[in-house]
Structure 1
Amino acid sequence: MAGSVKEVGSQEWEKDVLGSKGLMMVDFWAPWCGPCRSVAPIVEELSVEYAGKVQFVKLNTDDNQDIAVRYQVMGIPTLMFFKDGQIVDKVVGAQSKKNFKDKIDTLLAS
């Protein structure tokens, strides 16, 4: 089953991320980043497991530096969690799938 991680950029940011309702995980990444490549399949799996409950998007920091600067992304991968367009949490660095699931479950329960 295919995941539903949507690629967004500066043009779509306001509407697709800040204008969204519910919980969203945003993966700040870059093609040259090894840890980003290890996190990507986990994010895909989570997008299938949490389909209908959580939205998943990814933003290439090389192509969208304005957004990375605005949110003070200093290292990648950085995964930010937005609820109704507001940042509610973030994780910097590669993590296990279990850690991401625990974070998502906690945020969904709050």
Structure 2
Amino acid sequence: MSERHAIACEAGAKALDRLRPDNPASGLLRELATKLRSPKREPAKPLKSEWATMKDEITRKALGTLADAQLRFSDGQITGRELWCIVDGIYDTVSGLVDWDIAQLIYRARQELKEHAPQ
């Protein structure tokens, strides 16, 4: 398809040269024909970097929030029921987005707190 467009551009440039020599549009058409014939570049591929993946980042944030909540509970800033609500909310939020073993760890903590937290 690009070759056909390139041929059309060159034909247009020749026609313009016959009508009016040194027409700037014919130069642009020739330039376009050259670009259409040049080999296609491969699309840019994302580089693998040291940045965390989305799953890793969600896991890090979830576990960090759990650690913060546990510390607040230990310091007496929140109750056992509030800690359970935080763990329950985190589990509901990240389940299916993080690795299965991490989700199960949060779930077990949730169940343990549910059994022992005052209602």
- What is the TM-score of this pair, normalised by structure 2? 0.24
The structure with the greater share of residues assigned to helix is 2
The structure with the greater share of residues assigned to strand is 1
Structure possessing the higher relative contact order (Cα contacts under 8 Å, 6 or more residues apart): 1
